[in-house]
Amino acid sequence: HRMDVMYEEYEKRLKDFRPPQSAPALPAYLFTREDDYLAFTENRAVHTGGIFVVEPDRSYLAAFLDGQGRDQLRRTLQHEAFHQFAFNAISHDLPIWMNEGLAQVFEEGIWTGQTFLLGQVPPRRIRQLRADIQHRTLVDFKTFLSITPQEWSANLTADANKGATYYNQAWAMVHFLGETGHPDGVALLTHYLNQLHSGQDPQAVLQQNFANNIPEFQDQFADWAATLQPTPEATAIEHQDTLGDFLVALAKHNMHFTDMAHFRNTVIADHVKLRYTRGTIQWSTSDTPQIYFANLTGQLYSPDELFFQPSPDTPLLDIVCRTTSRVQLRTHFYHGDKQIEHEVLIEPSGN
């Protein structure tokens, strides 16, 4: 992916970065409860899953598990850690839409054990984007490019749904520039970030790079968004996550499985269907649930490709899927406070 090149450039800069001796240590805090997180952050991070703060007297990274689930928590930590990376390696003055957009691009990166697979487009991102387009809730680009951190924070605090739109729009705009959308996007994006890195005035740089072509930028983005499709890796992860939801749902009815074929046949024969709600967006699993037991060409996984594996002291067996020769997905289950929880782990194939 084109953004990999830009990431490698700034990663080299981070390796050479040496903070001044007077710089405060940056502790990280991981809370179980959202209430404790909000109290610690003095309610400055309402409707967020994590936060990165740099202030003269108090700098930290914080996140919480309660209600997010472990998969979302992992993405949150990647997101907040990228804010730290960008602050140190790119600029202290990244505009909020760019800062959040880049952080979400890396939030969605898939760690293989050796590198990140960037440029991922999860199906849930497209659901949010299409809903915002349909309901005309996307923010006009001229307004969005000029939004201040204070305005961003105030809007998030006032309306969680608006916050979801803001974050997803920032992700989509940066992805459009850095990956598959704008023909000159990666050159524009790199030039823009280099100017910020060199200490040039953020408002002047914004005017220079975007002010003269905002309508064209927005029109090209709209055409691209209408045809955007999820990436195979992100789709496979969502399918794997759905298998975990199926297994938990059936366990609530005292149905437990040790054989994948039995599990698959039960889901298909019983027409198991799950419904989800995230903010104002609602969706359901497919009417043909066999797709979750198949690769992206529609061929059912073999017993060597999709299977259960015992795991000590867990409520359910792990679900392991060897999606490629390099990578396998593992759904691991935990005893939660109120129900069984799970997360999808990405591992080198054969582990």
Q: State the DSSP code for 294.
A: B
Q: What is the pLDDT of residue 14?
A: 46
With H, G, I as helix, E, B as strand and everything else as coil, classify residue 210: helix
Cβ contacts of residue 299 below 8 Å, gap of 6+?
none
Q: Across the chain, how many H-helices and E-strands are there?
A: 13, 11
State the DSSP string of 246-267.
HHHHHHTTT---S-HHHHHHHH
Rounded to whole angstroms, what are the CA distances from 193 to 196, 293, 334? Answer: 5, 42, 41
Residue 330 and residue 314 in contact, taking contact as beta carbons nearer than 8 Å: no
Which residues of the chain fall short of a pLDDT of 50? Answer: 1, 14, 17-24
Q: State the DSSP code for 209.
A: H
Give the predicted TM-score (pTM) of the model.
0.85
C-alpha to C-alpha distance for 310 and 288, rounded to whole angstroms: 28
What count of other Cβ atoms lies within 10 Å of the Cβ of residue 20? 5
**pLDDT tens for each residue of 36-93:** 999 999 888 788 889 998 888 888 899 998 878 788 888 899 999 999 888 888 888 8
Q: What is the pLDDT of residue 7?
A: 53
Beta strands in the chain (DSSP E): 28-31, 50-53, 60-64, 110-111, 116-117, 275-278, 281-284, 306-309, 318-321, 327-335, 340-348
What burial class does residue 109 get, using C-beta atoms within 10 Å of its C-beta: 0-12 exposed, 13-18 middle, 19+ buried?
Answer: buried
Q: What is the pLDDT of residue 235?
A: 94
Maximum alpha-carbon separation in the chain:
65
Q: What is the pLDDT of residue 350?
A: 59
Residue 256 is encoded by which pair of tokens?
A: 């437990």
**pLDDT tens for each residue of 79-107:** 999 998 888 888 888 999 999 999 999 99
Cβ contacts of residue 62 below 8 Å, gap of 6+?
28, 29, 30, 31, 37, 40, 41, 45, 50, 51, 53, 80
Q: What is the pLDDT of residue 27?
A: 86
C-alpha to C-alpha distance for 120 and 118, rounded to whole angstroms: 6
